[in-house]
């Protein structure tokens, strides 16, 4: 077998039946040549091998009357007849030349998956393959997993978390999607394999620029002007033999490939909000009453039957019949209190509410938007990306080849937070692989791989949660675990009014790490090709502990028909219907090893029948948190099992955790819980023991 790209050869000897197998062959262009004393030479040229593709070629050899050679050109089969795997692939030209608008927004090739017939999108926006869920799909680059440990799935949206630790589209040789009947080497139901480009014996390069400009755009809907749009994606690639004049000639031996891709975006995102008017902020809610956004509390018979603003359970005889009614809660309940005259709140307005409205809610600037919307703005969302990919291949000899690849990518992206400053997200992605291929004998080939994929996404929100709480005048809020982290209390008063809610949950970096070691051994005997191997991974993720919107900083919800009858009126008086705080602990930082073992036999029964048999066994221990922030319930002993690290590193669980199940004890025997000294269970409820492992 001759590599047209690298000008290298690999030789095998057929068995007594004339059968031959070439295993672990890199994707690329090849030709086959057969020789036998007494027979004419036979050749097949123009062979193109895709990633993870099985091809079968029969070389016809006739008795040589004189020096002759039979040459045949290969024709790619339209249908895979070598195994039962169902999938498709796309090469460099198809990935880079398809009219995919994603090239203007991201340097990730993941968006090209949308062009595969086997790929669908689930309700969460993640891609799925062949009916499998998103976390049942494996993704890899050159055989090393790139799946984000935290999110599992990958969204088809440009720039989505988990979509970036991939080479530039310029550095992708092939993308293969396997939907059904994956072999046992791969651990998931569906699989996506990206194969990177390698250098060849001839120098090749490219330069590119993708441009989008608002000069070609229409004005944004409901806006008198165009939204700013300047997209520039640019870069280039170079590959060939690695040579240093007068020192080293890498032709036929050492090859390199390098690419750079950058992305610069200057854009504005159209945002439409519903905000309180000036008179609303002064306690005059007559416009809300006129719009039907305050309930009728003394309904006429016909209104009670047809008007949804007439709650039958909240009839107040003090309210004017058939008209909206804004009740003064200081005079009684919604059913008994006196109404505010002319919908004007004449009592003191809550200072926290006024601070919120005056500092974070702009005044209306539009009256013709429809749907109750009254504020329009174009929010700048600039971003930039830089990515470098490099690969070097080295042919040790005819039996051994080795290559290494490294991918480096940095992103800086702005994300809109309604009514609040943008997130400025920094993402760093690093990926590495080294692979060694060794044809030990004509029948036995070994492939070794080691690599890693590390990603960290660090959002920056300019308002500290503790500072926001102090500014709004909230008291008694425990933010000691996150005194300087970004965030903003979630305040919702849209019930019945459609006013835009505000809030930003706890901000912190998310980290995903996978280190992988794999070894595959292929042995051919007769009509059997047996492949076995191991796959060991060390996976870890670290994320902020997030339970609900804003968590430590509070979730305040104001509802219609509770105190004044208006959710906005309740806000002005500082009377939320529900308040929620989740005192979260340190970051979740969990991980552990994962083991996979497999065996696969491809049995060529005849020229028309091939049987594939495979078995994979995986050991997936539960992840262990670095700080022991994990617990489980044992129904056999009616006990809560707490990781011992929580006591040795963090001083034990927080009080709220112990109270949530009425723990009998704060710490198991032999441990202490200084964080909860003096804790005692409630005597009114049965308690549950705390044990540790």
Query: What is the secondary structure of 259-287 as a DSSP string?
Result: EEEEEEEEEEEEEEE----HHHHTTB-HH
- Which region holds residue 291: left if phi is over 0, alpha if psi is between -120 and 50, else beta? alpha
CA 480 → CA 138, 158, 459, 477, 486, distances in Å? 40, 36, 21, 9, 13
Distance (Å, whole) CA 164 – CA 106? 8
Distance (Å, whole) CA 136 – CA 243? 44
All structural domains of the chain with their residue ranges? 627-692
pLDDT reported for residue 44: 84
pLDDT reported for residue 38: 66
Distance (Å, whole) CA 177 – CA 164? 18
Q: Starting at the edge strand that comes first in sequence, how are the strands of the sheet with 555-557 ordered?
A: 502-504, 488-492, 555-557, 578-580
Residue with tokens 């492949």: 531
Question: What are the residue ranges of helices labelled H in 330-479?
Answer: 351-360, 465-472
Distance (Å, whole) CA 15 – CA 557? 77
**Splitting the chain (693 residues) into consecutive groups of 10 residues, what average pLDDT does each group show?**
80 75 78 78 81 74 59 52 59 69 68 76 76 82 88 64 82 83 80 88 90 81 78 92 89 93 90 94 94 85 61 77 92 93 94 96 88 90 93 92 95 93 94 94 91 93 92 84 88 92 89 94 89 94 76 89 94 93 81 94 85 92 88 90 86 83 87 77 90 85
Note whether 145 and 139 are within 8 A (CB).
yes
Structure tokens at 605: 């029964």
pLDDT reported for residue 467: 93
Residue whose C-alpha is closest to residue 437's, from 332, 520, 531, 353? 520
Residue spans of beta strands (DSSP E) within 103-226:
119-121, 127-129, 137-141, 144-145, 172-180, 190-196, 204-213
What is the DSSP secondary structure assignment for residue 494, as one 8-state letter?
-
pTM (2 d.p.): 0.82
Three-state SS for 410? strand
Distance (Å, whole) CA 84 – CA 610? 9
């Amino acid at each position: 077998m001759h590599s047209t790209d690298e000008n290298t050869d690999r030789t095998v000897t057929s068995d007594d039946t004339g059968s031959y197998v070439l295993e672990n062959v890199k994707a690329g262009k090849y030709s086959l040549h057969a020789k036998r004393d007494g027979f004419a030479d036979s050749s097949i040229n123009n062979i193109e091998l895709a990633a993870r593709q099985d091809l079968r070629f029969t070389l016809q050899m006739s008795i040589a009357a004189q020096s002759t050679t039979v040459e045949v050109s290969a024709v790619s089969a339209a249908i895979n007849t070598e195994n039962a795997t169902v999938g498709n692939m796309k090469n460099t030209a198809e990935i880079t030349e398809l009219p995919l608008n994603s090239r203007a927004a991201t340097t990730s090739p993941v968006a090209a998956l949308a062009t595969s017939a086997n790929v669908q999108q689930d309700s969460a926006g993640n891609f799925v393959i062949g009916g499998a869920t998103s976390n049942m799909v494996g993704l890899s680059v050159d055989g090393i997993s790139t799946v984000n440990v935290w999110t599992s799935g990958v969204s088809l949206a440009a720039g989505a978390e988990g979509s970036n630790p991939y080479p530039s589209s310029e550095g992708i040789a092939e993308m293969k999607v396997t939907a059904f009947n994956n072999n046992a080497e791969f651990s998931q139901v569906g699989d996506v394999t990206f194969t990177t480009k390698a250098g060849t014996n001839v120098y090749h390069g490219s330069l590119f620029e993708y441009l989008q400009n608002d000069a070609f755009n229409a004005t944004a809907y409901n806006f008198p002007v165009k939204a700013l749009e300047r997209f520039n994606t640019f870069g280039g690639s170079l590959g060939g033999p690695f040579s240093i004049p007068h020192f080293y000639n890498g032709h036929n031996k050492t090859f390199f490939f390098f690419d750079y891709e950058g992305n610069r975006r200057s854009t504005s995102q159209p945002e439409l909000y519903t905000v309180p008017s000036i008179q609303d902020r002064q306690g005059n809610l007559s416009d809300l009453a006129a719009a039907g956004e305050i309930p009728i509390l003394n309904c006429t018979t016909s209104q009670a039957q047809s008007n949804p603003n007439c709650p039958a359970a909240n009839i107040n005889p003090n309210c004017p019949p058939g008209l909206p009614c804004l009740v003064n809660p200081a005079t009684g309940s919604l059913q008994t209190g006196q109404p505010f005259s002319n919908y004007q709140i004449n009592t003191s307005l809550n200072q926290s509410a006024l601070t919120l409205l005056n500092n974070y809610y702009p005044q209306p600037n539009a009256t013709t938007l429809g749907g109750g919307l009254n504020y329009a703005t174009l929010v700048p969302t600039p971003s930039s990306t830089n990515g470098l990919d490099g690969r070097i291949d080295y042919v040790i000899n005819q039996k051994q080849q080795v290559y290494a690849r490294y991918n480096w990518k940095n992103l800086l992206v702005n994300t809109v937070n309604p009514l609040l400053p943008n997130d400025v997200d920094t993402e760093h992605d690093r990926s590495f692989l080294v692979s060694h291929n060794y044809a030990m004998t004509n029948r036995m080939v070994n492939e070794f791989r080691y690599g890693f994929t590390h990603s960290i996404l660090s959002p920056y929100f300019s308002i500290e949660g503790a500072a926001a709480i102090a500014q709004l005048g909230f008291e008694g809020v425990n933010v000691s675990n996150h005194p300087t982290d970004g965030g903003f209390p979630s305040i919702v008063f849209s019930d019945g009014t459609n006013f835009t809610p505000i809030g930003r949950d706890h901000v912190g970096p998310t980290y995903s790490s996978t280190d992988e070691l794999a070894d595959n051994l292929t042995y051919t005997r007769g009509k059997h090709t047996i492949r076995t191997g191991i796959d060991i991974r060390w996976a870890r993720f670290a994320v902020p502990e997030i339970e609900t919107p804003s968590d430590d900083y509070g979730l305040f919800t104001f509802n219609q028909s509770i105190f004044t009858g208006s959710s906005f009126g309740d806000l002005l008086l500082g009377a939320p219907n529900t308040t929620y705080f989740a005192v979260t602990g340190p970051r979740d930082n969990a991980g552990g090893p994962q083991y996979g073992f497999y065996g696969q036999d491809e049995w060529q029964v005849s020229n028309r029948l091939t049987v594939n048999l495979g078995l994979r066994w995986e050991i997936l221990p539960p992840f262990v948190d670095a700080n022991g922030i994990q617990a489980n319930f044992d129904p056999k002993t009616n006990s809560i099992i707490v990781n011992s690290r929580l006591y040795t590193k963090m001083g034990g669980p927080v009080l709220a955790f112990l109270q949530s199940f009425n723990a009998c004890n704060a710490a198991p025997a032999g441990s202490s819980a200084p964080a909860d000294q003096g804790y005692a269970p409630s005597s009114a409820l049965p308690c549950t023991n705390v044990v540790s492992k």
